Structure 1
Amino acid sequence: MSTAPTAHEAERTTPLAGRREWLGLVVLMLPVLLISIDGTVLTFAVPSITRALAPSGTELLWAVDIYPLLLAGLLVTAGSLGDRFGRRRLLLLGAVGFGVASVLAAYAPDVRWLIAARALQGVFGAALMPSTLSLLRNLFLDQQQRRLAIAVWASGFAGGAALGPVVGDALLEHFWWGSVFLVNVPVLAVLLLAARVLPESKDPSPGRLDLVSVVLSLTTMLPLVYAITSLASGSPGLLAAAAAALGLGSGIGFVRRQLSRSDPLLDLSLFSSRVVTAAISANLLSIAALSGLLLLASQYLQLVLGRSPMDAGLLLVPGLAASVLGGLAAVPLARRFAVRRLVVMGLLLGVAGYAVATRLGTGTSPGLVVLAFGLVAAGAGLAETLTNDAILTAAPPERAGQASAVSETAYELGTGLGVAVLGSVLGAVYAARLVLPAGLDAAEREAAGTLGGAFDLADRLPADPAAALTENAREAFTAGMDLTAGIGVGVMLAAAALVALVWRTPPADA
């Protein structure tokens, strides 16, 4: 009488990755680094772009925000297209398109041209990202090797975020603002030349592409991401509220349509697993914690402690290195401890980091900021590696693109939510606690609504009111930091409790 193989027997019979597969991982790291660097490097070029192209405030906002907006909004559609038409093919298409868009952005003669080029970068960036993670699912069949590959892949995001400020500062010191885009081209050329080591993979029987579902996916994600971005920028307004309503309404229609079709654009049965549900939630919340604290720590170091942008970026590099180490440590730890417990441990490291951040003051040592950010980043690296692995493992190979898109959408939404929610809380506390000198007019009071604005205003005031405004603004900002960090503690505790309660592996899959 034959019996099904045990988990250990299945592991022994799973083919191991060889040199070609590991070389493929190196190739797949290139677009991950580029996408991550492009998300942060533009902020350093904003002053140069403003001088060269003279954009309005709205135009400059769109030049910065259109890229992450389209990138996050198109991931689900792109993942499904990769499953249907080939993930390697979609990767190559994305690489060519991203390279062309980078050249167009580098030589933009005006800001509208730049906005259009950044939009194209977002579109083709969305084609790149699900392909990278879904190809890993098919390159690395052994679970331990795949987990290590995902840890290396995830480190590309942290590495890119760390390199963005350094690369941007170095390029702008020696070249014109367009160089921050043009640097993408040689890297993408290497990707195209080396892509022959990547095997093609796709769903052998994908069914027909449902264009109505594609439209509903876009009208769900794009408005929701826009609403989150508007909240993060501090200008939600009626348009953002309308966008959120449209996104939610389209999302309901999208879910209903997927449930009624035999060949859905997104297989919602992926979410029937409690493991996947908990993993996606932990992924989103851990990244929200990391991105939110990155925003707070960067502002604190520059505006409260008076560090230069370059110094602030370098002080945060150890934390991003901790994220990489946390991800790599997940591989040996997962051999000895339950994955659920390790994810909870990662979230609790985030709790500890935010607890440290509640102790910041106007004269705190930068070392305390480095410690707080390092704890949160290490926990996020540990949790993200394991949650991505859990999501990919739960999905059948033919749905790898969809699973990758879901995981990366959680990443992008978590990034936006972390910045939006924590940034909004900080801004509200700052405005409530700020004590302004007497005699300021309405325009001056509005200008002091941010810490940077208060410092600019202080430069135009007499010595005594300027000193009082500067000190009061710093104290109001640190009060906002303390309360925001306290909220971060509560959110991360709730995330750890959610994973502990929901993440239950069925006995047959244990």
Structure 2
Amino acid sequence: MGTFSSTPTPAAQDLTADTVGRATNQPAGGQPRTQQPPANQPAAPGRGRDWLALGLLMFPVLLVAVDNTALTFALPAISRSLEPSGVQLLWIVDAYPLVLAGLLVAMGSFGDRIGRRRLLLIGSTGFAAVSAATAFAPSAEWLIAGRAALGLFGAMLMPSTLSLIRNIFPDPNRRRLAVAIWAAGFSGGAALGPIFGGWLVEQYWWGAILLVAVPIMLPILAFGPVFIPESRDPRPGTTDVASIVLSLLTMVPVVYGIKSLATEGFGVAPAAVIGFGLLMGYVFVRRQKRLRSPLLDVGLFGNRIFSTAITANVLALFSFNGFILFLAQHLQLLDGQKPTESGIAMIPALIATVAAGLLVVPLVRKVRPGFVVAGGLSLSATGYFVVAFGDHSGGPALLLGALLILALGVGAAETISNDLILGAVPPEKSGAAAAISETGYEIGSLLGTAILGSILTASYQRNLVLPEGIGAGGPGGAHGISQARETLTGAVELAHSLPAPLAEALTSAARVAFDSGVHVTASIALGLMAGAAVLVAVVLRGVPKAR
């Protein structure tokens, strides 16, 4: 993974996705390398077979994306079934992307070494088995542990799919379309997750969301060895276990500390945990620079096209998953929609995400890629502007309209940023680049849930004012009152057990407290998206149009 200099040449900084790959596919000495397929990588025999292989790769892509968001709409049902605390509820959502993000780089590098198709099949088998076991979790702790195990096997899936696409489609134009389909599948799956999850929860129970992974994985396990060509790095280095441990010691403490600060306020312990994680991150980077075969080629980030595209990925998913988190609760708990109804309400956003990802493929031949990505981030900012300054009390129309705008932006930004990332590396290093790209996806998803979700929870808890008549020794009991103070779900559940006047007063108070948190989180996300759009437009302004 050490073929890149940490200081990119000016020429490499001003190339499109298809020309970046050609320019950077050279050894460290700077002499051009003859374009040849990596060793041990059989060429696909025909274009039809290529697209069939892509179709099979979409099964794990859709499953991992759906798994990222499907449980979001099942949180009320999980809360009623397992009675998790507010922190446990966030960990049920976060455990999966946290482990996924912590191991993606390691698994991407591992796939380069042992074979990307082999790793994909191992991950598919493990993901299906763990999903079946976690579907019947009897406690919140069991569910959190199962979600963490799913993160382990999910980390084997996503880098493998994107890196295999890089090797199956060496032609830049065909690759760009394949990446657009991949990104549309990932984004569409994230939007489909609540729809699919809502229907399963309503028709069966929340565990069905996890159990469905078993039949979805069957096609890739049955036909993947036949139609998907194997590929690997012909000159792999050794696996550095210490680097894997350091990557986990970086991610877990930082995210845990952020969650603690957001929910409990500033304290010495959360600050110390974050400081420890950042220190481990520093040690990790230093170690990668010294290793002959690093787990992560930190020199890649010296290429401003690569690093800026990664940033765009992180922030696009940050905004999308943070939005889905509070929208799911708002539609079901405050607007009274059933899980299926709230899922169906999001279908326009699903269509918009997929359509935007496909439509920008020909657009980059007329508009510079940097401006396309910046435009997508600007749409995300616009969606959050509508939420931050709009009135949510008139029903779900405003929030769903904002989601539609946000989905258009995410779909457009993801496709082009991923193509820029893949085009910046030679084929034999595509697993590492794909892993970094996927890490950006998962970090964005994780931070969107952890940061915005934690701020939303903290704002709700600070602003909730219980109506007179509800208190210690009053209706609902101490446990019900404690749950109401902690989460919106707890307040709605308590309201169901109260007389009508008190129930209406509590629901109204919970709505005011929750919406105040939504305004705060939307304002924060608006500032981040607007800043990211400006950054991308400035840094990538010199990238020419695609040919």
TM-score, normalization by structure 1:
0.87
Alignment length (residue pairs): 503
1:479 aligned residue (516, 520, 523): 516
The corresponding residue for 2:366 is: 336
2:531 aligned residue (491, 494, 497): 494
Residue 495 of structure 1 aligns to a residue whose secondary structure is helix
Amino acid aligned to 1:503: L
Tell me how far apart the structure 2 counterparts of residues 393 and 404 of structure 1 sit (CA, whole Å): 11
What are the within-5 Å matches in structure 2 for residues 217-228 of structure 1?
217-227=247-257
Tell me how far apart the structure 2 counterparts of residues 45 and 337 of structure 1 sit (CA, whole Å): 41
Deviation at 1:241, TM superposition (A): 4.8
**CA 1:454–1:86 in 2, change beyond 3 Å: closer, same or farther?**
same
Identical aligned residues as a percent: 50
RMSD across aligned positions (CA): 3.5
1:447 and 2:479 matched: no
Q: Deviations over 1:93-144 (max 9, x none)?
A: 1112222223333466777765554443221111111100011111111222
What are the within-5 Å matches in structure 2 for residues 189-200 of structure 1?
189-195=218-224, 196-200=226-230
Q: Deviations over 1:379-426 (max 9, x none)?
A: 011001111111111122222111111111111111122223323333
Residue 410 of structure 1 aligns to a residue whose secondary structure is helix
Amino acid aligned to 2:125: V
The corresponding residue for 1:277 is: 307
Tell me how far apart the structure 2 counterparts of residues 416 and 206 of structure 1 sit (CA, whole Å): 30
Q: Higher relative contact order by CA 8 Å / sep ≥ 6: 1 or 2? A: 2
The corresponding residue for 1:82 is: 111
1:289 aligned residue (309, 319, 329): 319
Deviation at 1:29, TM superposition (A): 0.3
The corresponding residue for 2:5 is: none
Query: In 2, are the aligned partners of 1:305 and 1:362 still within 8 Å (CA)?
Result: no
Deviation at 1:495, TM superposition (A): 0.6
**CA 1:129–1:240 in 2, change beyond 3 Å: closer, same or farther?**
farther
What are the within-5 Å matches in structure 2 for residues 96-495 of structure 1?
96-106=125-135, 117-172=146-201, 175=204, 178-195=207-224, 196-227=226-257, 241=271, 243-438=273-468, 440-441=470-471, 444=481, 447-460=484-497, 463-495=500-532
Q: Deviations over 1:451-506 (max 9, x none)?
A: 33333444455555544443343234333333432332221111111112222557
Tell me how far apart the structure 2 counterparts of residues 116 and 191 of structure 1 sit (CA, whole Å): 26
Deviation at 1:295, TM superposition (A): 1.8
Deviation at 1:321, TM superposition (A): 1.9
Single out whichever of 467-476 and 86-95 deviates more from structure 2. 467-476
Q: Deviations over 1:224-278 (max 9, x none)?
A: 3444566788799877555433321211111001112222111111101111121
Tell me how far apart the structure 2 counterparts of residues 432 and 256 of structure 1 sit (CA, whole Å): 41
Tell me how far apart the structure 2 counterparts of residues 467 and 476 of structure 1 sit (CA, whole Å): 14
Tell me how far apart the structure 1 counterparts of residues 109 and 484 of structure 2 sit (CA, whole Å): 46
The corresponding residue for 1:3 is: none
Deviation at 1:349, TM superposition (A): 0.8
Tell me how far apart the structure 1 counterparts of residues 80 and 498 of structure 2 sit (CA, whole Å): 26
Tell me how far apart the structure 2 counterparts of residues 116 and 435 of structure 1 sit (CA, whole Å): 34
**CA 1:460–1:269 in 2, change beyond 3 Å: closer, same or farther?**
same
Single out whichever of 355-364 and 287-296 deviates more from structure 2. 355-364
Query: In 1, are the aligned partners of 2:255 and 2:447 still within 8 Å (CA)?
Result: no
**CA 1:448–1:490 in 2, change beyond 3 Å: closer, same or farther?**
same
**CA 1:230–1:167 in 2, change beyond 3 Å: closer, same or farther?**
farther
The corresponding residue for 2:63 is: 34
Tell me how far apart the structure 1 counterparts of residues 339 and 204 of structure 2 sit (CA, whole Å): 18
Query: In 2, are the aligned partners of 1:104 and 1:114 still within 8 Å (CA)?
Result: no
Single out whichever of 330-339 and 181-190 deviates more from structure 2. 181-190
Whose helix fraction is larger, Structure 1's or Structure 2's? 1
Single out whichever of 473-482 and 286-295 deviates more from structure 2. 473-482
Mind listing any 5+ residue stretches in structure 2 that lack a counterpart? 1-17, 24-34, 37-42, 473-477
Query: In 2, are the aligned partners of 1:353 and 1:376 still within 8 Å (CA)?
Result: yes
Deviation at 1:81, TM superposition (A): 0.5
Deviation at 1:181, TM superposition (A): 3.0
**CA 1:90–1:298 in 2, change beyond 3 Å: closer, same or farther?**
same
Single out whichever of 100-109 and 489-498 deviates more from structure 2. 100-109
Tell me how far apart the structure 2 counterparts of residues 7 and 45 of structure 1 sit (CA, whole Å): 44
Mind listing any 5+ residue stretches in structure 1 that lack a counterpart? 1-5
Tell me how far apart the structure 2 counterparts of residues 505 and 189 of structure 1 sit (CA, whole Å): 45
Deviation at 1:331, TM superposition (A): 0.2
Q: Deviations over 1:345-367 (max 9, x none)?
A: 11111122112223432532433
Query: In 2, are the aligned partners of 1:72 and 1:225 still within 8 Å (CA)?
Result: no
Tell me how far apart the structure 2 counterparts of residues 197 and 409 of structure 1 sit (CA, whole Å): 27
Single out whichever of 431-440 and 482-491 deviates more from structure 2. 431-440
